[in-house]
Amino acid sequence: MLPESYQRTGASRASLASGRVLSGVDEPLRVTYISRRPYATSDGQKSTARRIGNEDDLMRMLEGMAGIRAELVDFAQMDLLAQLTRISQTDILLGMHGAGLGWVVALPPHGALFELWPQQTGVWQCFEHMAEWSGLLYRRVSHSKRGNGEVTTVNVDAIKKTLNDLVPQVKMRRTEQVAS
């Protein structure tokens, strides 16, 4: 049984999504990639935890894929309303494991969460469960840490392969939502 809070969240997501104009089934899917930028910690140190080292390669791949429109966002530079608006207009939310993926609960009902994991072991399934409880699709690709442990080089080919599988499924779900 779903937690009561997620049952209420489903109604809220449907309300948000109803404000979005869903055009025909041929509209490219909107992929929002959450970028993690360096930030100051409480002790004044700079941190880049779970940053993607080959982010430019990832974005080139996304921008070259047929059927999607990808956009890189830095939520640290956006207020909460702007973040919520962006997520409510997102079909696939893509990002490295971190708090920004908590927005999964505001994705439209046909949406998907694609989580990048910075290591091969020790996977925490919190965002996977949130997607599942919200009735959304979920995918994960794990990677090997590089450098000082804060920067991860992602496997762009593995991400593309997973997206090639995921995109038609999200399009089908969106088509069903438009038809209903």
In a domain, 106, yes or no: yes
Predicted pLDDT at 151: 81
For 98-139, the pLDDT digits (tens) are 888 999 999 999 999 999 987 766 778 899 999 999 999 999
In a domain, 92, yes or no: yes
User: For the chain, what is the HEC assignment?
Assistant: CCCHHHHHHHHHHHHHHHCCCCCCCCCCEEEEEECCCCEECCCCCEECCCEECCHHHHHHHHHHCCCEEEEEECHHHCCHHHHHHHHHCCCEEEEECCHHHHHHHHCCCCCEEEEEECCCCCCCCHHHHHHHHCCCEEEEEECCEECCCCEECCCHHHHHHHHHHHHHHHHHHHHHHHHC
In a domain, 20, yes or no: no
Predicted pLDDT at 118: 79
Predicted pLDDT at 30: 97
Residue-averaged pLDDT of the chain? 83
Predicted pLDDT at 47: 62
The domain containing residue 51 runs over which residues? 28-179
In a domain, 14, yes or no: no
CATH number of the domain to which 99 belongs: 3.40.50.360
In a domain, 169, yes or no: yes
Predicted pLDDT at 146: 58
In a domain, 152, yes or no: yes
In a domain, 117, yes or no: yes
For 74-103, the pLDDT digits (tens) are 998 899 999 999 999 999 999 998 888 999
Q: Quick one: what percent of the chain has pLDDT higher than 90?
A: 55
In a domain, 174, yes or no: yes
